[in-house]
Structure 1
Amino acid sequence: MVKSFQGVRIAEPKKNNLPVLVKDHMSTSLVTFHAEDSIDHVLEVLTKRKISGAPVVDKEGRLIGIISEVDCLKEIIKGKYSNTPKFPGTVADHMTEDVITLSPDLSLFDAAQKFLDLKIRRFPVLKDGKLIGQISLSDVIRAFPKLRSTTW
C-alpha cells in the first residue's frame, strides 16, 4: 500500500478563459463623423474602411447620432433625381439622432439579444455618457466561436 504525503488537495474553481462582456469584444479605434461632414465624405470613408456606419460626435466628442450606408442612400436617391454626381447633403440631414447605446459591462449574451430584438447592426458603447467604443453584430458573431461551453 502506498501512502501519499501530499495531503488533501483543494480543487481550484474553474476560471473563465474568455470574458463575455461587451467591453471585451467592442471596437475602440472608431471612425467618427461630425454633423457638418458631407455625405460625399462619409461615402468615401465608409467605402475605404469597409464599414457600414459610424457614430456622429460633436466638437467635444459627445455622441449626437449615427450615420449608416442606409442613411446615405437617401442622399444618393436625391442626387439621382436632381442629376447631380456629388452628394453635398450633410450628416446632420440624414443621421439617426435617437441612438440606442449599450453599457460596456453588459453581457455579450444580452447584447446578442438586443441585436435580435431591435434588428440594429451596431451599438455605440457609452460609459458615464462618453463614447468609448462600438460593438457590431459582426463583433458578437466573431466572439462566440471562441467561447467554450464551460465559460458560459
Structure 2
Amino acid sequence: MIARELMTTDVIKIDATATIGEAVELLREHTISGLPVVDKEGHLIGVITGGDVLRAIQQRAQKIYHSLFGPTQVVIDETVWHEDSHRLLVLPVEKMMSKGAVTVQLNTPVGEIADLMLRQNVRRVFVLHDDKLTGIITRNDIVRWLVRHVAN
C-alpha cells in the first residue's frame, strides 16, 4: 500500500491570507485538529493547528510569577485572554502557521509514512505531487489500514 491508495484527496485547507478566526471555524466545523496552509497556486507552505492557536492565546494571557523559594507559578489573566484572543483571531494564518509541514510523495509506502509520523511526532502528513498538495494521511488512516490489514 502506498500514499496514493490511502490518502484523502478532498483536503480541507486554508489560504495563507485567511484569518486565524476562519481557521478556527474550519477546525471546529470539520472536527479536525490541523489544516494545511496553501498559497494561491495550491503549494503547501505550512500547517496551522488548534494547538498553535491555543498556545499563542495562552502565552499572551499568562502572568508569570517567579519565586526564589518554589516553582514558577502561571496565572491566566482572563481579561488579557479575552482582549488578545480577539486581536489574534483577525491575524492572517501565515503569521501563526508552522512552516515545517511533514510531506510524502504519492508512491511513499505506508510503512515509511507510519515511521515518519512516529519519528516526527505528527498527526498528519501531506501528500504532494509536482510540489502541490494532493492529499492528506492522518494517524487514524494508518490505524484503520493496520486493523484491516491484520484482520485479513
Both proteins in one fold, TM over 0.5: yes
Q: Is the 8 A contact 1:74 1:94 kept in 2?
A: no
Q: Which runs of 5+ in 1 are unaligned?
A: 1-19
* Matching of residues 65-144 of structure 1 within 5 Å: 65-77=46-58, 78=60, 81=80, 83-84=82-83, 86=86, 87-144=89-146
Q: Residues 75 and 89 of structure 1 are in contact (CA less than 8 Å); yes or no, is this contact kept in structure 2?
A: no
Q: CA separation in 2, counterparts of 1:83 and 1:67?
A: 21
Q: 1:69 to 1:53 in 2, by over 3 A?
A: same
Q: CA deviation at 1:125?
A: 0.5
More helix per residue: 2
What is the alpha-carbon distance in structure 2 between the residues aligned to residue 100 and residue 56 of structure 1? 12
Structure with more strand by fraction:
2
Within 2, Cα distance between the matches of 1:35 and 1:75?
A: 17
Alignment of 1:14-33 (within 5 A): 20-33=1-14
CA distance in 2, matches of 1:106, 1:39: 32
* Counterparts of 1:115 and 1:82, CA distance in 2: 33
Query: Which runs of 5 or more structure 2 residues have no equivalent in the other structure?
Result: 62-77
Q: What is the RMSD computed on CA atoms of the aligned residues?
A: 1.9
Amino acid at match of 2:129: K
Larger Rg: 1
For residues 135 and 81 of structure 2, what CA distance do their matches in structure 1 show?
Answer: 37
Normalised TM-score (structure 2) = 0.78
Contact 2:57/2:81 (<8 A) preserved: no
Say whether 1:145 aligns with 2:147: yes
- The normalised TM-score by structure 1 is 0.78
